[in-house]
Each structure stands twice: as C-alpha cells, then as structure tokens.
Structure 1
Amino acid sequence: MAAGRRRTVRALLALVGLMVLAQVVGWYATDRGGLVLIQELDRPADWAAASVLALTTAVMVGAKDATVKSLVLALVVVLAFVTIPLHQFAEVGWKVTERQQSPVHAERRLVVEQGLDMIDPVWMVYLEQGGGLGERRWHLGYFNGDSDASALVDAAWDGPDRIRLVQGGGQVEVIELAPDGSPRGSA
C-alpha cells in the first residue's frame, strides 16, 4: 500500500477511535449531570453510522482486492437496509410537555418530556440548571405508561430543594436536591 493511502487509512481509523471516545464521554456526562453541551454527544446510532462509513472508506482506500471491496460494500448496504428501519421504529420522539421554574432558584427548571414507545406513552423527567454553554442536566426518572400504575401523573416542586414525582398507582417519590442543585436520588 502506498504511503499516502496508508496515512489515509490510519487517519480514518483514528477518526473512528475519536467517535467512540465522543460517545463514551457523552454517555458518562448524561448519567452524571454533566454539561448539556457534552451530553449531546450521547448519540450511539449517529456515531455508529459515522463509524461504519469511516471504516468502509478505510477498506475502500486500503484494500487492493476488488472482491474484498465488493464484499464490504455489500455488507454495509445490507446492514443499512436492516438497521435504518429498526432505528426509525425504535425512535421515541421526545417532546417537552412541562417546564417549571424552581420557586426559589431561578436557574433551576424541572422538565418533563413525553414520547411514545411503540404504543405506550413514556415520560422522562430531569432537572436543568444554568443556561448557555454552562447548562447542566440531571435525569430524575423514566416512567413507562404500559400500565396506569406506572404512568407519570404529576411532577412538581415540593419546596425550594425538593421535587415530587407521582405515579398513577399512587407511588410518590420525593427527590431532595443538594445545595449545588444535584439530586440526592432518582425515581
């Protein structure tokens, strides 16, 4: 393989490594109340598609044998035809249905998003704090409406540093917030 093609293949493989690292960093920030800007990196389907494209390009540039190139290209096309419809079918389609500002801390907001998972409604509740590039987000709970008992009925501030989440079955979860705004638990 010529030196130029070898450099291109190495650069593409390094790019795949960076994409994997970006996904891991985004996932880590999402679970730990990290900056929203970094949480946006948590997009596994997008990173996987970009990685497959980069790896396919690396094979096309690096391989000399036309049979290898044809087999890899055929495999990628088959994968695309299988995974793209599955990805579209599994997409929840989140929409913000409620946003409440804290009664005391103006920079804190309780946010409820609702989506549809197959045929059942689902809710995601989180706490946002700050704004702009410094905005942080903590996930407080995920509720599946496959039964009335597990559906989210109410999410509200229960004081300056407390959030109350109520399910259809009457279960009440109160989440205390630390002075820095981070939750001391989740539902």
Structure 2
Amino acid sequence: MPRTRRALVRLLAVAGVAAVLLYTEGQWESRSGGRMLVADLFNRPEPLLGAALAALIAAAWLGDRRTAVRQATRAVTVTAAVVFLLGVLAAHKVSAAETRSRETAPARPERALVVVHRAYDAGPEPGERWQVLLESGEGWSARRWTLADIGPGDPDDSLLVEASWTERDRITVVTDAHRRVFVIDQDTGEPIEAR
C-alpha cells in the first residue's frame, strides 16, 4: 500500500475514534451536574457518530485489499450504516415540540432556572414532559443540574404546576402530586433538596 494511502487510512481511523470519544465526553457531561457547554457541543449522536462511522468505513475500505477482509468489511459496514440510519429515522419519528423558559436568580445573574416542556404526539409514551433544570456558572465551568423530570412514566405520573425561585437561593417545584424545595449551595451552585 502506498505511503500516502496508509497515512490517509490512519487519519480516517484517528478521526473516527476521536469523534466517538468526543461524543462519549458529551454524553458523560449531560448527566446532572455536568458541564453544560461540553454537553451542548458534543452530545450530538447523529453528526458525531455518523462522522465516526463514515470515517471508519472509509478507513476499512481503503485499508486492506485482500478479498476475504474486503468482503467482511463491506458486510459489517453496510450493516452498521443501515442500523445507524434506522436509528436516526426512529429518533426523528418520536421527536417532540419543545419550548423553554428561563428565569435568572434574584441578584445572581450566573444562575438560571430553566423549564423545558416537550409535547410528544407519538412514540411509546405520548403526552407532555417537563424537565426542570438549574444552570449555574459561566463559560466552560458552567454546570447544569436536573431538579425534576416530570411526565408519563415517572412514579407519580404527575403534571408540572409551577417551578420558580422562591428566594435568592431557593427553588420550589410544584406538581399536582408533590412539592419539592431545593436550596442552592452558595459556593458550588449545586442544588440540594430540602427535607
């Protein structure tokens, strides 16, 4: 195999692995308390995993000229591409109409209460879902915490009534089934549920 072709195969393989690693980091930071900028940039399965799949397929097709390896590579890559495309189509089929509201904390502009409302018309659980989030900090160090995930499938099968700042460092989330109060740690910005 010529040197330039070998270099291209290595570059494609590295790019594919890098895209998977970036997506993995974005997925990890999407957890409650994760860095929100990293999550927003890299928790994108369709473009990152699609690019990884394309780069790895191209590297495999260009990499080895032997017939048996080439046939196996073609079978695996075609199967992976079909499964990926079916996953993308399924994800778009159950997509939801989404609205967001944002309220900054009294006297603390670096903290915001965010309520995400999603209305699903189809899928396994049609209906409405609310996600109540606290965003705290600025830039790369900003973090996002999940305070409540409300809707079909949750233990109470409840509906959101209100989520608001009740004091400078206190958030109250009210559903038709319960009331929860979160106190915000002054140093870390982390919400702690009051008992």
TM-score range, shorter chain: 0.7 to 0.9
Report the Cα distance in structure 1 between the residues aligned to 2:87 and 2:18, rounded to whole angstroms: 26
Q: CA deviation at 1:70?
A: 6.3
> Which residue matches 1:177?
184
Q: CA deviation at 1:128?
A: 1.8
Q: CA deviation at 1:66?
A: 6.2
Count of residue pairs brought into register by the alignment: 185
- Does 157-166 or 23-32 show the bigger shift? 23-32
| Structure 2 counterparts to residues 28-177 of structure 1, below 5 A | 28-31=28-31, 33-40=33-40, 41-65=42-66, 69=70, 72-73=73-74, 76-77=77-78, 79-91=80-92, 92-93=95-96, 95-117=98-120, 118=123, 119-131=126-138, 135-145=142-152, 149-168=157-176, 170-177=177-184
Report the Cα distance in structure 2 between the residues aligned to 1:156 and 1:82, rounded to whole angstroms: 42
Report the Cα distance in structure 2 between the residues aligned to 1:65 and 1:58, rounded to whole angstroms: 14
Question: Percent of pairs identical after alignment?
Answer: 30
Distance 1:88 1:142, change over 3 A: farther
Deviations along 1:17-66, one digit per CA (max 9) or x if unpaired, are: 21222122222322253443211211233322111101111012112146
Task: State the secondary structure of the residue aligned to 1:90.
Answer: helix
Report the Cα distance in structure 2 between the residues aligned to 1:173 and 1:160, rounded to whole angstroms: 16
Q: CA RMSD in A?
A: 2.9
TM-score normalised over the length of structure 1: 0.79
| Structure 2: gaps (5+ residues) | none
> Which residue matches 2:20?
20
Task: State the secondary structure of the residue aligned to 1:107.
Answer: strand
Greater share of strand: 2
Deviations along 1:69-95, one digit per CA (max 9) or x if unpaired, are: 566456545544454344343343462
TM-score normalised over the length of structure 2: 0.76
| Structure 1: gaps (5+ residues) | none
